[in-house]
Amino acid sequence: MNHNARPVFYEFFAGGGMARIGLGESWSCAFANDFDPVKAATYRANFADADEHFHTGDVFALEAADLPGQADLAWASSPCQDFSLAGARAGLHGGRSSAFFGFWRLVEALDAEGRAPTTIVIENVVGLLTSHRGEDFTALCQALADQGYSFGALEIDAAHFTPQSRPRVFVVATRAPTDGLTGQGPFHSRAVREAAARLPQALKDRWLWWALPAPPARNTDLSTVLEPDDAVEWRSDAATMALLDLMAPAHRASVDARVASGERAVGGVFRRMRGGEQRAEVRFDGLAGCLRTPRGGSSRQTLLVIDKGVVRSRLVTPREGARLMGLPDGYALPRSATAGLHVIGDGVAAPAVRWLAEHLLAPLAARKTAALAAE
């Protein structure tokens, strides 16, 4: 166990290091990994000590010996598209391809050596709570319980902190004392409550309702993170008109009303398939839609800017995306816009991590240290 002033963490599937930024300088990173070379290069560009602890490669290629010491925290933002745990009747080594299993076998190996992390955070899309009728989430909880962890889940939307709608589930599992950290809280969404209710009794007995407080009201909106109008590339008038033509009547009426007002308005637009037809949907609530990786035209978020009756459109820039993730302007992005959006779209909102760390992860680390000192 770490007895230094700063608690120690491992960061798996680290991407560009956004969880590390959220944890901040009060935590010490002993190990980080990601298999994606673009993300790895971005991590290295942003952390001067990366050569000391960052490993580029598949998590399945790692061994417990690659992980130094014993961590207070292991953070795992495993890929959401392959998080499937249900049906592993042969146990967690039953040949599953999900990246989670590469991470989990390391936890098991560390535990066998008496140096498992005290606390684990598994961050993923909210669909984790319901995939395969909830069987994936139950399997995850069973894996945690089998290693002696108690656990709970929180649904935290980045919109509490930055002007981006980005709900994510954070499963926090620990072996540390939890006195004073449980009770009612604002992040026990309906999806979380229903997922907990579906668990078998033996897992319910290990469930913890983390009492994370509500953050103060956000004081920024989408317009505050944008680059100046004269510093960005706008789409042609024809492209903007084609986008408007894809809108359903209600969305087009929302645009027309703002054109008629003459005032400036900024909206985020996504193209989606609705009833077999492609539609453009706009929101003017001060939030961007959830940032995604640029794997196709429909995944690229567009901005609609209306000013003095004129409608223009353009794509979100990587720097704007970084701001929507709560990253400082000094955060080094890849030169390619596509690569930058790839790193950003796969990340975790740093302010959400910061809130979680301040009100739960740091107290858990302190309680464990105090418990050891009392022995």
How far apart are alpha carbons 251 and 267 in whole angstroms?
A: 11
On the 0-12 / 13-18 / 19+ scale of CB atoms within 10 A, 371 is middle
CB 204 within 8 A of CB 150: no
Residue type, 209: W
3-state secondary structure at position 336: coil
Specify the length of the chain in residues. Answer: 375
Q: Catalytic residue, from 29, 80, 141, 290: name it.
A: 80
Q: How far is CA 38 from CA 17, 108, 268, in A?
A: 12, 29, 27
CB 112 within 8 A of CB 106: no
Place of tokens 């794997």: 295
- Residue 29 is among the residues annotated as catalytic for this protein: no
Q: How far is CA 5 from CA 1, 96, 279, 362, in A?
A: 12, 39, 53, 12
Place of tokens 């900024």: 266
How far apart are alpha carbons 56 and 49 in whole angstroms?
A: 14
3-state secondary structure at position 341: helix
Catalytic residues: 80
